[in-house]
């Protein structure tokens, strides 16, 4: 029988009523003839409660015990979902990570999936079971201990199951009804996309569009798992939501498919750095050792043997970056004139696989911003993305103007 | 190193503060040189919440899913207890039932322990771990699914671990400070016993003294596990609580060691039953099939080939018993004149291993009740127990009078 993976996040299983609603969606697919693997998160709020207890008990906790405690929420939802399906006369049973087994490495609290055993679940499908309900976010280490995959790990679990079982599709049910051209809260012309390429979704996910966890998109891309994002709160047709798929399956595409933003960015500049080999390595090793997540990096042209080095990082890491760089300066590893921080900036990006074959996107983007009087402070580009740092007060204006200019409100 | 098993019930681990207090008790034993296996229940209220969700989801639930859901509470406490001990620099780790493994049969929701693997935990003790924290109440079936042992199963878990690991003692920490000669809420002269024999504890447990689960006492008796009941809310000396042990370890003992009662009893009488072979079997098969828990049974002498058959059962099963017996009567299996129910009775019992060697206990009991004007409705006896059914309104009076008469307020 064809197989489907369906994943329900915390808000979709927040209480018994919602679990029932989710189970009905599963029932619809079973009635169509699918065998289904359902991946569930913990009821919303439960994982935070458990994490809170662990932190209060032991601030520098043993991650193995953290995992044992925190993974218990998904076990509860899995059992309740199986019972709900049974009440609807759908043959179902629940599986904990170690029962599947979903084998991971030993990196507790952020373990990586190594292998999913398909034998036990397939045997049960062979005996007439129609739905395997699997507790998401958890696995078992080589030492036989419970591991968790880190925040959002249930998305990753779902994609990994879809790959391991050769599922026709992996449906991610969440509290939004798909992936949008931009954030509808900022731009009322934002349009839901019917399809989006893995690469684009990856850029959007890493830019903070919180629909899917980055790792799950990476995994889907690697194993060519068709991923559909859709709402668990609306009646669904077969065409609902957004399909994340290979670009070859998208016949026509706009040059730009999305405008993303990130509000909490800061820009730091080391003024008058000696322009000699190894200086960049010194700066960014120093920042990396201090745990600063550097995003964009720009080096200006040199003048009199000295240059300026600019980079961006999250606003709440500015202090840490300053301490680290001044520390390196004091130790003599590094010599710069002054360190200037600007915490009033935001990042705006346009994303689209069409950029690879079409030129002029950057020029158009800069023209649009210039026409609106928005000054660009830093620019970086990738194959399918152009990002700029601008004053935060212009962020919404910039998003709306770019959305209009690239006609994202119109389907291609 | 000598080994101790310590079990903490739901109220003893109800929140993080109480878990810390319990961990301190464990730390004291570790400091004395013991390796310790700690058995924990779920935080009080958690199991009821989970059971409630299961019942609401599926009134006739699949017990395998029930077990998966309901066993999650103990997992949380075990992890938090291990973390708390680690914070106190006590090397500790948590174990779930399947990790130990604690193997049970497949009777989900009331599984029986078949085997406890000692290898993995002993290996960790060998590596310097001082405390193994085990989630109580749960095990793994031959099919690899999670099982639970039924209510109070954490006591049974603790005793089984003490037997399997050859522990010096099994300490059961609870919200009372030991076993009393009778219920202190009813009789203010009630005295805490320093020691009590397994057999006596068994009779008291089955009579509703809710200190220990009957199964755990049976198991302790079979494997000669020294069991100590003590409070987790008081500072403890080595002599605290009550030791449940072999009678040979109790040098001197009163003839009667406890007065127990059970409030919710009902008395039913089938009047004028044909006095022929097989009639008792018919009646009690009929009741057993209907799920009625019959306790005392008395058959009066026969008159004109007919007799009266009296039995007791919990008050809330009277309706069920009436429906069952009248059903059997209608089907012609059974012929009796009338069915009379008395739901206003209570059971009072005196218990003591001294009875086996000392006569006159029954006579003294009946005399005491008679002196107080209490009419006895039904009598049953065992080797170490005499029970009577009386009007419920006399119950407290009877308990107090018997406690006085047998001088239970004085240590032997």
Q: Residue B62: is the preceding peptide bond cis (ω within 30°)?
A: no
The mean of the pLDDT values for chain A is: 91
- The pLDDT assigned to B28 comes to 95
Q: How confident is the model at residue A305 (pLDDT cuts 50, 70, 90)?
A: confident
A318-344 average pLDDT score: 88
A1-27 average pLDDT score: 95
Please determine, for residue A364, whether its predicted confidence score (pLDDT) is greater than 60.
yes
The CATH code of domain B259-405 reads: 3.30.2130.10
Of B56, B94, B96, the CB nearest to A16: B56
CB A212 within 8 A of CB A227: yes
State how far the Cα of B329 lies from the Cα of A15, in Å rounded to an integer: 48
Closest CA to A155 of A13, A3, A37, A39: A39
- The pLDDT assigned to A236 comes to 67
Taking contacts as CB-CB distances below 8 angstroms, the residues of chain A near B99 are: 144-145
DSSP-derived letter for residue A283 is H
- Owner of token pair 């026709």: A168
Closest CA to B57 of A261, A243, A19, A178: A19
CA angle B13, B18, B19 (to 5 degrees): 60
- The pLDDT assigned to B398 comes to 96
Q: What is the pLDDT of residues A229-278, one digit of tens each?
A: 998 887 767 678 999 999 888 876 778 899 999 888 999 999 988 887 88
- Cβ contacts from A onto B, under 8 A: 103
- Record the tokens describing residue B297, joined without a space: 């049974």
The interface predicted TM-score (ipTM) is: 0.81
> In chain A, where does the domain assigned CATH 3.30.2130.10 lie?
259-405
| pLDDT tens track, chain B, 412 positions | 899 999 999 999 999 999 999 999 999 999 999 999 999 999 999 999 999 999 999 998 999 999 999 999 999 999 999 999 999 999 999 999 999 999 999 999 999 999 999 999 999 999 999 999 999 999 999 999 999 998 779 999 999 999 999 999 999 998 888 899 998 889 999 999 999 999 999 888 766 556 788 889 999 999 999 999 998 887 767 678 999 999 888 876 778 899 999 888 999 999 988 887 888 888 999 999 888 889 888 887 777 788 889 999 999 899 999 999 998 888 777 888 899 999 999 999 999 988 888 888 999 999 999 999 999 998 988 889 999 999 999 999 999 999 999 999 987 6
- The pLDDT assigned to B367 comes to 93
Contact between A76 and B50 using a beta-carbon 8 Å cutoff: yes
CB B348 within 8 A of CB B368: no
Q: What percent of chain A has pLDDT over 90?
A: 68
Q: What is the pLDDT of residues A64-117, one digit of tens each?
A: 999 999 999 999 999 999 999 999 999 999 999 999 999 999 999 999 999 999
Across the beta sheet with A242-245, the strand order is: A92-95, A131-135, A35-40, A3-8, A169-174, A227-231, A242-245, A195-197
Taking contacts as CB-CB distances below 8 angstroms, the residues of chain A near B144 are: 99
- The pLDDT assigned to B207 comes to 61
> In chain B, where does the domain assigned CATH 3.40.1160.10 lie?
3-251
Of A58, A78, A94, the CB nearest to B86: A58
Contact between B86 and A66 using a beta-carbon 8 Å cutoff: no
Q: How confident is the model at residue A209 (pLDDT cuts 50, 70, 90)?
A: low
Residues of B contacting chain A (CB within 8 angstroms): 16, 19, 50, 53-54, 56-58, 61-62, 64-66, 68-69, 72-73, 75-76, 78-80, 82-84, 86-87, 93-94, 96, 98-99, 144-146
- The pLDDT assigned to A356 comes to 84
Contact between A98 and B98 using a beta-carbon 8 Å cutoff: yes
Helix spans in B272-386 (H): 279-289, 318-330, 361-371
CB B112 within 8 A of CB B142: no
- Owner of token pair 């059962």: B313
> Where are the strands (E) in A122-241, listed by range?
131-135, 138-140, 146-148, 169-174, 195-197, 227-231
SS3 for A284? Answer: helix
- The pLDDT assigned to A259 comes to 93
Contact between A79 and B98 using a beta-carbon 8 Å cutoff: no
Contact between B83 and A65 using a beta-carbon 8 Å cutoff: yes
CA–CA min distance B37, chain A (Å): 16
Q: How confident is the model at residue A281 (pLDDT cuts 50, 70, 90)?
A: confident
CA–CA min distance B75, chain A (Å): 6
- The pLDDT assigned to A108 comes to 96
Of A61, A72, A80, the CB nearest to B57: A80
Contact between B99 and A57 using a beta-carbon 8 Å cutoff: no
Fold annotation for A3-251: Carbamate kinase (3.40.1160)
Closest CA to B286 of B263, B254, B313: B313
């Amino acid at each position: 029988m064809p197989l489907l993976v369906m994943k329900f996040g915390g808000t979709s299983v927040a209480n018994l009523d919602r679990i029932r609603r989710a189970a009905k969606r599963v029932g619809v697919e079973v009635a169509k003839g699918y065998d289904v693997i359902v991946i569930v998160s913990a009821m919303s709020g439960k994982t935070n409660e458990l994490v809170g207890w662990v932190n209060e008990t032991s601030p520098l906790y043993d991650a193995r015990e953290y995992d044992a405690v925190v993974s218990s929420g998904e076990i509860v939802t899995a059992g309740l979902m199986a019972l709900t399906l049974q009440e609807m006369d759908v043959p179902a049973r629940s599986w904990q990570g170690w029962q599947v087994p979903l084998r991971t490495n030993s990196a507790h609290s952020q373990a990586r999936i190594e292998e999913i055993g398909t034998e036990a679940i397939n045997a049960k499908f062979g005996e007439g079971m129609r739905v395997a309900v699997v507790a998401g976010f958890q696995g078992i280490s080589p030492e036989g201990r419970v591991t968790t995959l880190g925040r959002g790990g249930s998305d990753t679990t779902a994609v990994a199951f879809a790959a391991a079982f050769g599922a026709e599709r992996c449906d991610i049910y969440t509290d939004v009804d798909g992936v949008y051209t931009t954030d509808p809260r900022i731009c009322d012309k934002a349009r839901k996309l019917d399809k989006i390429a893995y690469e684009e979704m990856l850029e959007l996910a890493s830019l903070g569009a919180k629909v899917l966890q980055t790792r799950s998109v990476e995994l889907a891309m690697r194993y060519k798992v068709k991923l559909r994002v859709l709402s668990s709160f609306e009646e669904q047709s077969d065409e609902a939501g957004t399909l994340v798929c290979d670009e070859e399956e998208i016949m026509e595409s706009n040059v730009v498919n999305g405008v993303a933003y990130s509000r909490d960015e800061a820009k730091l500049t080391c003024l008058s750095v000696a322009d000699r080999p190894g200086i960049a390595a010194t700066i960014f090793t120093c920042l990396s050792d201090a745990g600063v997540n550097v995003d964009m990096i720009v080096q200006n042209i040199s003048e009199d043997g000295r240059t300026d080095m600019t980079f961006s990082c999250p606003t709440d890491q500015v202090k840490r970056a300053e301490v680290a760089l001044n520390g390196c300066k004091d130790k003599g590893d590094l010599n710069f004139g002054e360190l200037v921080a600007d915490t009033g900036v935001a990042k705006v990006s346009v994303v689209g696989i069409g950029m690879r074959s079409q030129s002029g996107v950057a020029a158009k983007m800069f023209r649009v911003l210039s026409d609106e009087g928005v000054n660009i402070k830093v620019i970086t580009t990738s194959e399918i993305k152009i990002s700029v740092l601008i004053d935060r007060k212009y962020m919404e204006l910039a998003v709306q103007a770019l959305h209009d200019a690239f006609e994202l409100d119109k389907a291609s």
